[in-house]
Structures are given as C-alpha cells and as structure tokens.
Structure 1
Amino acid sequence: MSKVKYYYDSESLSYKKIERRKRTTFKYAAVFLLASALFGFLFVFIASQYVESPKERALKRDLQNTQLQFELLNKKMDEAEAVLANIADRDNNIYRVYFEANPIPEAQRKAGFGGVNRYKKFEGFDNSKLIIESNKRLDILQKEIVVQSKSLDEITKLAEEKEKLLAAIPAIQPVSNKDLTRMASGYGMRTDPFNKTRKMHWGMDFTAPRGTPIYATGDGVVARADNRATGYGNHIRIDHGFGYVSLYAHLYKYNVRKNQKVKRGDLIGFVGSTGRSEAPHCHYEVFKDKQRINPINFYYGSLTAEEFSKLLEHASLENQSLD
C-alpha cells in the first residue's frame, strides 16, 4: 500500500493530504519511459560501435580467413608463373630453336580476355579488387598453361620426326672396318678400270673379301634388290625417307627382299663382284632428293675422329676405281 503524504497548510494551521492528479502521474510516467528509451538507444548505439556481437565476430573471422586464402592463392600463382616463365623461356630459346620452329610471341602467351566484363559478378564487395585481380591472374595463368601445353605437344611431334630423321640418315659405313681390306676409291673424278679414262665416280668403293657382310646404313625400306641396273650387278637400294636413298652394288647375294623394312646395322647382303666390277668390293652411293652426294659426309655414326681422318685421306686420292 502506497504511503499517504501530507503537507502543512499555514493558513488553516493544519495538515492536508497531498492529492496527485492523474495527468501529473501520466506525465511523470511518460518522461520516465522516454528517458529510459533514450538511454537504452544510446547504450545500444555505443555498444554497437565498440562491442562486437558473436555474429559480427564470426563474419569478421570469415572475412579475415578469405583474405588469407586469397593471399596464399596469389603466392601460389607467383610460384606457378615463375615456373611457367622458365618453361616458356626454354621452349622458345632451346626446344624451338633446336627443332627449327618459330618461337611463340609473348603477347600470345599472356593475352587477356576481351569482350564482356567477365568479373562483374565480383563487384560490390569489400574485397572486390582483390577477388577480381586474383581471378584475372588465374584466368591468364590457365590460358598460358594451355598455350604451353599445345606448344609442348608440337615439340613432341617435332622430336619424334627428328628422331626418325636421325635414325633414317645413312650414318655408318656399309662394311665394318674390321672386315675391310682397304678403302679403294672415293667420290670424285677417278680413272676407269676398264677404259682408263677419267670420269666421275659417284660413290665409294670398300674392298673386302667375297661374302663379307654389308649393313644398312640407316633405317628405311628396301626399294630394290635386283640386278636390273646397268653396271651395278646385284644391288640394293634403301629408301630412308626425308629424301635419302642409299645404294649398295656388286653384291654376291642378298639378305633382304623388296619392301622389307630394315634398321641401321641390319645385315642386308654380302660383298661380291657382280656387274661392271674389277674385284670384290661394295660400291656405295647416297642420294638426297634424287641427287648423288658424297657419302663420306655421313659416317658420324661408326667412326672415331682418327678413323674418319684416315678414311678422308684415302677417299681424296685420285686413284683408279674398281667399277
């Protein structure tokens, strides 16, 4: 029960009861509620500025973690770009130079993406710039990888062709050094053994006993193995591809047949003296694009430097040929 309050009335010299009007009570209540509301709003405002809610703290942690992940992603892209730049440098300045292919321009490797704005969906966020730049770098990096991958595929094909070429070129002597009696005559003007006139000798003569093995000087396919060419007697022609053909003449007998595939070093026949020949030997010729060339330029596959020097010395002598 609320206390009853009195006041002293000096005129009537008596105590009178204090009567509170309802309007005054309502006014006091309204002022109190308004003050409470203002105080509460002020408290909430100050708290929101200086005190984080659990949800805000969680969002802030997520944002910091996202920033960290993008920073780590950019560091990884730095490393990937460095590795890719090294590969591109070797690709342009080593691989493509060796295989005689044009280098890929830098502008083509690092070309961006034109047309519509690919990154519009990343705009309007707190870290839009970071996200957009990271995605641009990632897209360019992916494109560089595709360009480099296609380039390496091309280099692989060129290497395979180069490997086939190196295997196909006639690169060894048709008769082994240990089986040779001597290198009788080389490429150039020589004395004909039958009419004693000087004429062009289009190959090299390797003197060896009848039945000495003759080897294919490079990979290829046997184009001919017959005696239907004037002067050559029993002879073999091997088509090596890439414009190269080798010829082995005056054979005693064959060890291959037409259209047979052979590898460098395969036994294809035996030394004889058939056709227009003065003594057992292997007459050897090399053609490039249907033109006869000096076979001595192709013996890098079987001779030491000393052996090649001796062969070069004997081949240069303008002596009498054996055919």
Structure 2
Amino acid sequence: MAKVKYYYDSDTLSYKKIKSKISDILKKISLALVSAIMFMVLGYVVFTQFFDSPKEKELKRELEFVKLNEQLHSKKIVQLEKILQDIQDRDNNIYRLYFEVSPISNEQRKAGFGGVNRYKALEGFDNSEMIIDVTKNMDILSKQLYIQSKSLDEIVKLAENKEKLLAAIPAIQPVKNQDLTRMASGYGWRTDPFTKANKKHWGMDFTAPKGTPVYASGDGVIERADQNAAGYGKHIRIDHGFGYISLYAHLSNYNVKKGQKVKRGDLIGFVGNTGRSQAPHLHYEIFKNGARINPINFYYGNLSPEEFAAMQKAAEIQGQSLD
C-alpha cells in the first residue's frame, strides 16, 4: 500500500494530503529508469574492465596454452640442436675421417631455406611471429636430421665395405713359417735361373717340400685353378674384390675349383714344382687394379715384427730366383 503524504496548511491550521501530478510521477519514473540504465551500463563497463567473460577466459587459456607449448618446443629444439651438433661433429671428425670421406659442410647441412617465403600462410595472426619462428626452426632441424640420416646410411655402407675390405686384402703369408725351408727370392730384379739374365721377378718365392699346404691370403672367389698360363704350371688365382688378386704358382695339386668362395686361411693347394720352376717352391704374386705390387707389404696378418723384419731382409738379397 502506497504511503500517503501530508503537508501542514498554516491558513487552516490543519494537515492536508499532497496530491501528485501525473507529470511529476512520470518524471520520477523516467529519472529512475535513466538512473537504473546508467547504473547498469556503468556496472557492465566496470565488470568487463576487471572481469573476463567465459568466452574471453577460454580464449585467454588457449593463448596461454599456445605460449606454454611454444616455450616447451623452443627448449626441445635447443636440446635437439645440441644433440644433432654433437652427432654432426662426430660424423665429420671421426666417422668420415676414418673412412676417408670428405666431411659435409655447414652450407650443405643448412642450405635450402632462402628465397621463397614458405611461411606466408602463417602470417596475419595475433601470434604469427611466434608460430613462424617455431615452424621454421622445426623445418631447419628436420632437414639437418634428414641429411645426417643419409650421411649415417653412407657411413654404415662404408663400414660394411671396410670390414669386407679388411677381410679381403691378402694379409697373411700363404705358406706357414714352420713349413718353410727358406724365403728364396723377393720382388724385384733377380737373375733368371734358366737364362741367367737380369729379369724382373714379379712375386716372392717360398721354398718348401712338395705337398706343403698353401693357404688363401684373403677372402675371395677362385678365379682360376688350372695350368693354362705359360710358366706358372698348376696355379690358382683368387679374386678378392676391391681390385685385389692373388696368384699361387708351381703347385703340385689343387684343393679348390673355379668359382669357389674361400676365406683367409683356407687350404687351397699344395707346393709343387710344375711349370717353369727349378725346385719345389711357391711363387706368390699380388695384383692391385691389374698391376703387380710387392707382396711383402701384405703380411701383417700373421707375422710378428721380428719375423717381418727377417723376411724383409731376406727379400732384399738380389740373388737368383727359382722361376
């Protein structure tokens, strides 16, 4: 129930009711509405100034999450770059050096990121700079990892080849020391036993009794086991790969046949006196890329330093060869 208001009339000495005009009432209502609206607007302004809407809160959380991920990714990229740099250093300074392969330059590792702007699609956003920076670093890191992966694949192949090469190189004496009578003649100019002329002796002669075992000096495939080469008599040729071939001449018999695979130290034949030979012995030669080379440099596999020195001294004596 609305309150009734009175005023004191001094003429009549009595209280009379205050009658409100319609216009006054409307004014009051309008003033109240305006005040209420202003209060609401002011309240909204103050609220939005100091408090976020649910949508704004969600967007801020997402932005904070993006920034946090960017920081974490940046740290991980730095860690991966350090690890990759260590691998690259090892690759250039140890692995490639060991296998005698040219190192990969920094220009090669980091090339391919100039010219076209490949990040244009990421421009125009609030956090474009941050996103582009992380994306670019990831791309650079990915390419370097790809190059390093290819390099390590190459190193693996080189290692496999190196292992095969070390097994294939003719690296042992084909006749055991305990089976030798003596080392009769070395590589170089010697007196021919038949013509007595000074003639180049292309191998080494090992004197031993007929039937003495002869061993393969390296892994390979029997290329020949016949007596169809002039002067060599019954002889064997082993293709070791990598340009190496070893030859064993004047044999009395074979223990292998053409096309057979052999390992270093396998028994391949026996000392004899066939062909152009003056006495039972093994004539031994090594070819590299078709050219004869001195076999004395290839006995590191089964001779001690003292034995090698004695053999080298005997090989240097310029006497008469046996073939």
TM-score (norm 2): 0.91
Stretch moving more, 112-121 or 152-161: 112-121
**2:121 maps to which residue?**
120
Note the 1:1-323 alignment, pairs <5 A: 1-11=1-11, 15-53=15-53, 56-111=56-111, 112=113, 114-118=115-119, 120-121=121-122, 123-125=124-126, 127-323=127-323
Quote the Cα distance in structure 1 between the aligned partners of 2:160 and 2:241. 14
**How much has 1:50 moved relative to structure 2?**
2.3
Amino acid paired to 2:269: G
Q: Deviation per CA, 1:37-91, whole angstroms, max 9, x where unpaired?
A: 2122222222222234555555444433332222122111111111111111222
Amino acid paired to 2:309: S
Quote the Cα distance in structure 2 between the aligned partners of 1:144 and 1:174. 49
Quote the Cα distance in structure 2 between the aligned partners of 1:247 and 1:11. 154
Quote the Cα distance in structure 2 between the aligned partners of 1:135 and 1:21. 74
Quote the Cα distance in structure 2 between the aligned partners of 1:17 and 1:254. 147
Quote the Cα distance in structure 1 between the aligned partners of 2:195 and 2:157. 52
Quote the Cα distance in structure 1 between the aligned partners of 2:17 and 2:118. 83
**How much has 1:14 moved relative to structure 2?**
5.0
Quote the Cα distance in structure 2 between the aligned partners of 1:300 and 1:309. 11
Identity over aligned pairs, percent: 61
Quote the Cα distance in structure 2 between the aligned partners of 1:117 and 1:270. 71
Question: What SS does the aligned partner of 1:131 have?
Answer: helix
Quote the Cα distance in structure 2 between the aligned partners of 1:117 and 1:271. 73
Question: What SS does the aligned partner of 1:130 have?
Answer: helix
Quote the Cα distance in structure 2 between the aligned partners of 1:15 and 1:98. 120
Q: Deviation per CA, 1:251-292, whole angstroms, max 9, x where unpaired?
A: 010011112222221111011111122221111011122221
Question: What SS does the aligned partner of 1:174 have?
Answer: coil
Question: What SS does the aligned partner of 1:250 have?
Answer: strand
Stretch moving more, 191-200 or 262-271: 191-200
Change (3 A) 1:290 1:121: closer
Quote the Cα distance in structure 1 between the aligned partners of 2:7 and 2:14. 9
Quote the Cα distance in structure 2 between the aligned partners of 1:208 and 1:73. 73
Q: Deviation per CA, 1:107-133, whole angstroms, max 9, x where unpaired?
A: 2212326424435336412x3322221
Quote the Cα distance in structure 2 between the aligned partners of 1:104 and 1:10. 114
Change (3 A) 1:18 1:273: same
Aligned length: 322
Amino acid paired to 2:264: R
Quote the Cα distance in structure 1 between the aligned partners of 2:2 and 2:228. 143
Amino acid paired to 1:304: S
Q: Which runs of 5+ in 1 are unaligned?
A: none
Q: Which runs of 5+ in 2 are unaligned?
A: none
**How much has 1:311 moved relative to structure 2?**
0.9
Quote the Cα distance in structure 2 between the aligned partners of 1:229 and 1:104. 48
Change (3 A) 1:25 1:183: same
Question: What SS does the aligned partner of 1:173 have?
Answer: coil
**How much has 1:94 moved relative to structure 2?**
2.5
Q: Deviation per CA, 1:296-317, whole angstroms, max 9, x where unpaired?
A: 1111222222211111111111
Q: Deviation per CA, 1:175-216, whole angstroms, max 9, x where unpaired?
A: 112222211110111222233332221110111121111111
